Amino acid sequence: AQTVTQSQPEMSVQEAETVTLSCTYDTSESDYYLFWYKQPPSRQMILVIRQEAYKQQNATENRFSVNFQKAAKSFSLKISDSQLGDAAMYFCAYYTGTASKLTFGTGTRLQVTL
Amino acid sequence: DAMVIQNPRYQVTQFGKPVTLSCSQTLNHNVMYWYQQKSSQAPKLLFHYYDKDFNNEADTPDNFQSRRPNTSFCFLDIRSPGLGDAAMYLCATSEGLKAYTFGSGTRLTVV
């Protein structure tokens, strides 16, 4: 079974600084997708960034980028120039067509301070 | 805008009284999911529909049922809610991996 582990229950970053959220996963599949989702206090889950496992290039979306290390099964999220609106719960998630479902990690609560 | 809509946003039900949560989508996605999310925990998949094909997770209690009468609507029925079923229930849709989209959720309170 696939598992996703987020070892940082909470993180804090100062506004305009950079923060990295960690995620590791376990799978025997070779073809899969990884995601970071943001869940603000309003509770709607919003996609931040996605990475296809077959792509070596790390995905980027504006201030958000990932460090995908396939051999190490690691998928960290870097948020640059942090903003107050980035404060939320961040979930790492894994998807494979075999299971056709997202498996989530336990989440990291990010606080952004002035 | 195309979206996933969950009603109601908040639902209070009595212990043991059947309750139904609804989800509708305007995205015309072929897959619809129901997740249960308890406080400060990861969403847990209960079941999903691939078109009309129902897929139940092995550890989903029998107390939880689902219906998908058409592409646009999917319902979550809790036959006899217990205090442990109090949670946020998230509906999501996808077309393969395209735009896996979540609704805003329904927060269920059991009294």
Look at residue B105 and tell me whether its pLDDT is greater than 90. yes
For the residues A56-69, what does the mean pLDDT come to?
Answer: 94
Provide Rg for chain A, Cα atoms. Answer: 14
Look at residue A100 and tell me whether its pLDDT is greater than 60. yes
The answer to whether B43 contacts chain A (CB < 8 Å) is yes
**Which 3 state secondary structure label does DSSP give A63?**
coil
CA angle B29, B35, B36 (to 5 degrees): 160
| Residue A33 to residue B97, Cβ atoms within 8 A | yes
Q: Provide the CA A95 distance to its chain's centre, in angstroms.
A: 13
**Cβ-Cβ contacts under 8 Å, A107 against chain B:** 40-42
C-alpha closest to that of A38 among A64, A72, A12: A64
**Cβ-Cβ contacts under 8 Å, B45 against chain A:** 101-103
**Stretch 49-78 of chain B: residues touching chain A, C-beta under 8 Å:** 50, 55
| Cβ proximity of B84 and B68 under 8 Å | no
Q: What are phi and psi of A59, to 5 degrees?
A: -75, 145
Residue B68's pLDDT band, with cuts at 50, 70 and 90, is very high
Q: How much is the mean pLDDT over chain B?
A: 92
**Cβ-Cβ contacts under 8 Å, A33 against chain B:** 97
Q: Would you give the DSSP letter of residue B69?
A: S
